[in-house]
Amino acid sequence: MYLFPILNGIWQGFFISILLFGPAFFKLIHTSIQEGFKKGVILASGVFLSDLLVVALCIFGFSDFMQTPSFQKIYSLCGAIVLFLLGIKSFLHQYKAFLQSYSERVPNSKSLLKGFGLNLVNPFTFILWFNVLGSISLKYADEINYKLLLTVNLLTILIMLFLMDVLKVFLSHLIGKKLNARIFFTINKYFGILLMVIGGIFLFRFAGLMGWLNAFK
């Protein structure tokens, strides 16, 4: 009975993982290269927990509220501000300060919170799970065990996403072992620029939701 939702969740999770390129993805690669496999897995666990929270909120009826224009506007603006600040911090980091922070051990709890926060601050995380939940709900709408089948399918997707993130961490860690501190510093600069670009995308989305872009049409 559960074979179909499990198989369905495996291919869906694999497909979603390939298409995901949000701030949490780039932070995952950045952390794995710079801080190693363990820290990357911990950060991936934070991403998993934030996805689990969003899925739980959708299942328990908060999806309608999270799809309202006011919620989307606030979330897009907050996401843009947070990513801009993080990006500027990484980009302006001086080499001596970077070397000092590079040698320091980041607490596991901080890595977990970074993964959780970066994924949660992305408004497209909510849009993704709204669409996933909507499409999956249609598959089991006529089934007697609708909620159970839906839950199994969603949990399989989440587990598959986590396993794919662990694979990305492993591959990034292998690359990171061959790089020196100066290259890490350069990667950190480009990571800051990347975060600012993603923040700009969120800001552009906020402007669109506010209707400010209509003046240029």
How many structural domains are present in the chain?
Answer: 1
What domain range includes position 97?
3-61+69-216
What is the SS3 string spanning the chain?
Answer: CCHHHHHHHHHHHHHHHHHCCCHHHHHHHHHHHHHCHHHHHHHHHHHHHHHHHHHHHHHCCCHHHHCCHHHHHHHHHHHHHHHHHHHHHHHCCCHHHHHHHHHCCCCHHHHHHHHHHHHHCCHHHHHHHHHHHHHHHHHCCCCCCHHHHHHHHHHHHHHHHHHHHHHHHHHHHHHHCCCCHHHHHHHHHHHHHHHHHHHHHHHHHHHHHHCHHHHHC
Q: Is the pLDDT of residue 217 over 60?
A: no
Residue 178 scores a pLDDT above 70: yes
pLDDT digits (tens, 9 = 90+) for 28-48: 988 888 888 999 999 999 999
Confidence at 102, pLDDT banded by 50, 70, 90? low
